[in-house]
Structure 1
Amino acid sequence: MSLAKEEVFKSNIQTEKIHFKEKVGYASGDLACNLIYQTVSTYLLFFYTDVFGISAAAAGTMFLIVRGIDALSDPFIGTIVDKTNTKYGKFRPFLLFGAIPFALLAILCFTTPQFGGWGKLVYAYITYIGLSITYTCINVPYSALTSAITRDSKEVVDLTSTRMFFANLGGLIVSFGVPLLASFIGDSTSTKTGWQMTMTIMGIAGALLLLYCFRNTKERVKIKEVHGKIKFADIFEQFRVNRPLVILCVFFILIFGINSISNSVGIYYVTYNVGRPDLVSWYGMLGSLPALLLMPFLPVLNKKLGKKNLMRVSLSLTIVGTLALLVIPTTAIPLILAARLIAAAGSLIAGGFMWALIPETIEYGDYKTGKRLGGLINAMIGFFFKFGMALGGIVPGLVLQQFGYVADQAQTPHALTGILITTAVIPAVLLAVALMVINFYELDEQKYAEVVKSLEMRDKIGSFKR
């Protein structure tokens, strides 16, 4: 390529500096999603069994079915996102029009109508399905929005770092603040009202933050038209040729399954096994706190250890912290909290780093097929991490039912054993599987650099040849 053509190519790359206000505006979208959906993921099972009045088995089965339906809708929504083109852009309109329905459906999920047994179950299915699909309509385009804000790699890193900080700040607020707020309001009114009002506060805050995100972000990069029409069948082509994406999807199932199980059963473990319901907020807070300290160091850790070793170390750390609960006496509160902190540190490193791998799979898919499918690939990832999150409802619900758990009373030793198995043993087994899976992720630093170089050359010469 001539020097003149290379300079023209460079001049076409988006290098506009993103102001701090816009970075905060973008990150506020993930804060919003965490305030609402993490509240649902962490506390809805407990609300259904101990407040709403649904059996653990029925609630667990519902989690699996609803999230399965939700996950199946992801690829369709991803295809719609990739085809969208409005005066507000490709991705931002979903934030604008989805904010209020998202908040309203979340509030309805934590509302207890005066229905009978079957009526409650039907109501729960309808509201939970509606909430989950609405979340997908917001989260898929939000995740893909980064590529439309800037192409500058440094700015992308800054955006992502700010986003992850705000996301974990939301997790911290949910894990520590939601139980306190629900308990405080419930003490002066009723438990049902306490949870409903708490979700109302989270929902309103989330909707306002999504609107703030919409207002304070700009889609500067005009995504070029892909070579060929986008269609649903592109999913199957990606699975056929994009092995890194397949491995990452499996990894998302496992890690989000582990996190969802741990978060869902944590309130049971602290309330019944430890006998300290007053520590639920602290236990939850320690599950998010390490992220605020560790996320800024992810690039350094990746540089020193490499992708696979970073994952191996973080997953091993999580296994140690998780299995420690099997041998720590339930009266040793400081040791229990220390084990929670260790497990959370490893889990958050692995979970945070997973998101950094998604752009690699998008580039690799573009390299193999000539189609840059940001919306569709993010939707595919969403399908699998929601399937993993479903484990947080179905696994604890079925295990607790099998071991004779009865809501809102002292548990039998057999039931306490079931809670402990769900808290420590099941996550440890899934973590061991994740350790094996990560070995099959072959897109290392050298190969990825070759992929990027090939894409740059392809764009320079305007060819889609392989």
Structure 2
Amino acid sequence: MQNETDIRLSDHEAKGFYKLSWVQRIGFGSGDLAQNLIYQTISMYLLLFYTNVYGLNPTSAAFMFLLVRIVDVIWDPVVGAFADKHNPRFGKYRSYLLLAGVPLTGFAILCFWDGFSGSLAYAYFTYVGMSMLYTLINVPYGALNASLTRDTNEITVLTSVRMFMANLGGLAVAYGIPVLVANLSPNGKMNSVESAGAWFTTMCIYAVIGLLLLIFCFSQTKERVVMDKAETANVKVSDLWVEFRRNRPLRILAFFFITAFAMMSVGNAAGSYYMIYNVHADASQVANFMALGSIPAFIFMPMVPAIKRKVGKRGMFNIFLSVAIVGMALLYVISVVPVLRSQIWLVYVAQFIKSTGVIVATGYMWALVPEVISYGEYKHGKRISGIVNALTGIFYKAGMALGGVVPGLVLSFVGFDQTNEVSQSPFAEQGILWLVAVIPALLLGLAMFIISKYELSDEVVDKINMEIEKRSKN
């Protein structure tokens, strides 16, 4: 088995082990920054917009979120197989950054337009369209990671940069949107009918910036590790299920994605409700709380390569998933004790602790995707990056489906009053607290159990990649 020194010495000999410049790393990461300006806005604020501004009831919104994710389950493998099978003029995977970028920008903006206020049909049309276009970028973008290099250390650095940039997008959304909407709204609120125009203007700004970042990502990425046309000729959608059945590390990662994204979707959707109705915060305090969901990334994500070397993958997941659960427990305790809840700095501390654990654990999971792609190539001779990313996409969309439907159903169950901009019943407040702390903590416990079964160590992955390179030379 070769160690890191051996791999570094073979960088110039093994064509797949490329080192990237910092401009290229940042360029690749800007793609996730761009996507998060849309994804995080949808995840954090679309439910609030639909219920309090657009005029949908929580149950209708919940089932719409579920149906959109079901559409994604069908659409993701189609996109993955298409991306693997075809070779567009501007690159196998990077082309979609341009091809889908412009229409995605338009649909994202239309999701936050109230021209057909209260119309469920319009909400379905725009949300389904936006989601399908997002997939048309996101699945090839995920495959792009594995096409840049085989080097595991480079992929770890690349993933850290990507997650840093993604969380920069999350911070821009979490902090910027409440502040911008409140400032543009005639009544200074973000959860009233009167704020509809402010939401539309804000989304126009964020979506256009996202498009420019996608173009920058396209300009800085170069695909080097991809299948040739002969190898992709027989790629088909059914390969997804074949790969899922025979690739055990992929199955484990897929189920981890379900629980992780369900946890994030539930917590993100509930955050603004929690601050407005449980803590009785103003827009700037909502922004501070939501921003703390991203700020730990700038402290801890740069440390991920060193942390991983020190404690290993499994140790890192166990440590940071436990930290997240502790943060959620603190948030619950603070929220049920009135004297503590009035101290908003304690709420911020609990949110910071929770977010630290969530960000590191869920950020690093993306570095495992190229590993399971290489494992499948090593075992069966096919490097079907698009298919594998479509499969992980199906499972994280399944997690988002769970995370999307649960908040709306819980709000409906506890009698949430969408016409009240200031307060809710004690039972409704308790339901919101379940969403922001209890349910995510239970999902994290399940995620910790699932990832404990993942068996690809760095040493195993390095050996697999070197063996693949040797085969390619024969």
TM norm structure 2: 0.90
Distance 2:201 2:58 in 1: 24
Deviation at 1:403? 0.6
1:413 equivalent in alignment to 2:426: yes
Structure 2 CA distance for aligned equivalents of residues 220 and 173 of structure 1: 32
Q: 1:313 aligns with which of 315, 319, 328?
A: 319
Residues 81, 387 of structure 2: 8 Å contact kept: yes
2:406 pairs with one of 395, 402, 415: 395
Give me the whole-angstrom Cα distance separating, in 1, the residues matched to 2:208 and 2:403.
Answer: 26
Q: Aligned pair in 2 of structure 1 residues 451, 305: CA closer, same or farther (>3 Å)?
A: same
Q: CA deviation at 1:218?
A: 2.9
Which of the numbers 441, 450, 455 marks the counterpart of 1:428?
Answer: 441
| SS in structure 1 at match of 2:256 | helix
Residue pairs, 1:351-362, within 5 angstroms: 351-362=362-373
Match of 2:59 in 1: 57
2:128 corresponds to which residue? 129
SS in 2 for 1:113: coil
Secondary structure of 1:68 counterpart? helix
- Stretch of structure 1 that moved more, 273-282 or 261-270: 273-282
Residue by residue, what CA displacement relative to the aligned partner does 1:5-64 show, whole Å, maximum 9, x if unpaired?
Answer: xx9996461566544333332222111101112111110000000000000111011101
Q: Residues 221, 444 of structure 1: CA spacing in aligned structure 2 closer, same or farther, 3 A cutoff?
A: closer
Deviation, 1:65, is: 0.8
Please list every run of 5 or more consecutive structure 2 residues that lacks an aligned counterpart in the other structure: 1-8, 189-193
What's the counterpart of residue 273 of structure 1?
278
Structure 1: gaps of 5 or more residues? 1-6, 462-466
Checking the alignment, whether the CA contact within 8 Å between 2:107 and 2:126 is kept in structure 1 is: yes
Q: CA deviation at 1:421?
A: 1.4
Question: In 1, Cα distance between the equivalents of 2:236 and 2:357?
Answer: 38
2:288 paired with 1:282: yes
What's the C-alpha RMSD, in Å, of the aligned pairs? 2.1
Output the CA distance in 1 between the equivalents of 2:23 and 2:433. Answer: 45
- Aligned residue type for 2:275: V
Correspondence for 1:259 among 258, 264, 267: 264
Structure 1 counterpart of 2:211, from 204, 207, 210: 207
Aligned residue number for residue 333 of structure 1 = 344
Name 1:32's counterpart in structure 2: 34
Aligned residue pairs total 452
Aligned residue number for residue 464 of structure 1:
none
Is the CA contact (8 Å cut-off) linking 1:102 and 1:134 kept in structure 2? yes
On the 8 A contact 1:227/1:370 being kept in 2, the answer is no
**Aligned residue in 2 for 1:291:** 297
Cα distance change, pair 93–74 in 1 and its aligned pair in 2 (3 A): same
Equivalent in 292, 302, 309 of residue 303 of structure 1: 309
Contact kept, 8 Å, 1:67 with 1:387, in 2: the verdict is yes
- What is residue 191 of structure 2 aligned with on the other side? none
Identity of matched residues, %: 45
- Distance apart, 1:237 and its partner CA: 1.5
Q: Is the Cα–Cα contact under 8 Å of residues 228 and 371 in structure 1 kept in the other structure?
A: no
In structure 2, the residue corresponding to 1:306 is in which secondary structure? helix
Q: One-letter code of the match for 1:298?
A: V
> What's the TM-score, normalizing by structure 1?
0.92
The alignment partner of 1:440 has SS state of coil
CA deviation map 1:222-246 (0-9, x unaligned): 5334387111111121122101101
1:68 to 51, 67, 70: 70
Task: Determine the C-alpha separation between the residues in 1 that align with 2:258 and 2:240.
Answer: 17
Q: Distance in 2 between matches of 1:458 and 1:399?
A: 54
Could you report, residue by residue, the CA deviation over 1:194-232 in whole angstroms, capped at 9, with x for unpaired residues? 001000101111111112222333334553343871111
CA distance in 2, matches of 1:234, 1:140: 15
Q: In the alignment, what sits opposite 2:223?
A: 219
Deviation, 1:160, is 2.9
Secondary structure of 2:456 counterpart: coil
The aligned residue for residue 247 of structure 1 is 252
The 1:196–1:228 alpha-carbon spacing in structure 2 relative to 1, beyond 3 Å, is: closer
Q: Secondary structure at the match of 1:187?
A: coil
Once the two structures are TM-superposed, the CA of residue 434 in structure 1 deviates from its matched residue by: 1.2
Pick closer, same or farther for the CA change 1:193–1:353 going to 2, 3 Å: same
User: Contact 2:97 / 2:218 at 8 angstroms: preserved in 1?
Assistant: yes
Bigger drift between 406-415 and 57-66 goes to 406-415
What is the alpha-carbon distance in structure 1 between the residues aligned to residue 426 and residue 342 of structure 2?
Answer: 16
Aligned counterpart, 1:20? 22
**1:238 maps to amino acid:** E
CA distance in 1, matches of 2:277, 2:242: 48
After superposition, the Cα gap between the structure-2 partners of 1:204 and 1:288, relative to the gap in structure 1 and judged at 3 Å, is: same
Asked if the contact 2:146/2:370 (under 8 Å) is kept, the reply is no
Cα distance in 2, alignment partners of residues 228 and 93 from structure 1: 19
Match of 2:374 among 354, 363, 367: 363
Give distance in 2, aligned partners of 1:95 and 1:223: 20
Corresponding residue SS for 1:321: helix
What is the rounded CA distance, in whole Å, between the counterparts of 2:240 and 2:224 in structure 1? Answer: 27
Q: Secondary structure of the equivalent of 1:303?
A: helix
- The answer to whether the aligner puts 1:441 opposite 2:454 as a matched pair is yes
Aligned to 2:163: 164
Matched, 1:347 2:373: no
Change in 2 beyond 3 A, CA 1:382/1:403: same
Contact 2:83 2:92 (C-alpha < 8 Å) held by counterparts: yes
After TM superposition, the structure 1 stretch with the greater mean CA deviation from structure 2, 180-189 or 270-279, is 180-189
- Which whole-Å deviations, capped at 9, do the CAs of 1:257-292 have from their partners, x for residues lacking one? 111111100111111011113311000010000011
Encode CA deviations 1:368-389: one digit per residue, 9 max, x unaligned: 2211011110111111111112
| 1:351 aligned partner, one-letter code | T
Any conservation in 1 of the 2:156–2:305 contact (CA below 8 Å)?
no
Map Cα deviations across residues 148-207 of structure 1 (whole Å, 9 max, x no partner). Answer: 344555554443332222111111100000111111111379400000100010111111
SS at match of 1:256: helix
